[in-house]
Amino acid sequence: MPHTQPLFLARRSYRRRRMMDAVRLLPGFGAVLIMLPLLWRTAETPEPDTAEGLVYLFAVWVLLIAAAFALSRGLAPALLVPEEPVSPEAGEPGENSGEAG
Question: CB of 75 within 8 A of CB of 22?
Answer: no
What pLDDT score was predicted for residue 49?
A: 72
In this predicted model, what pLDDT tens digit does every residue of 19-59 receive, in sequence order?
A: 888 889 999 999 999 998 888 777 677 776 778 888 999 99
C-alpha to C-alpha distance for 60 and 75, rounded to whole angstroms: 22
Which residue type occupies 21?
D
Q: Please determine, for residue 93, whether its predicted confidence score (pLDDT) is greater than 70.
A: no
0.95 exceeded by pTM: no
What pLDDT score was predicted for residue 101?
A: 47
Q: How far apart, in Å, are the Cα atoms of 50 and each of 39, 43, 54, 80?
A: 14, 10, 6, 44
Q: Where are the domains of the chain?
A: 11-41+50-78
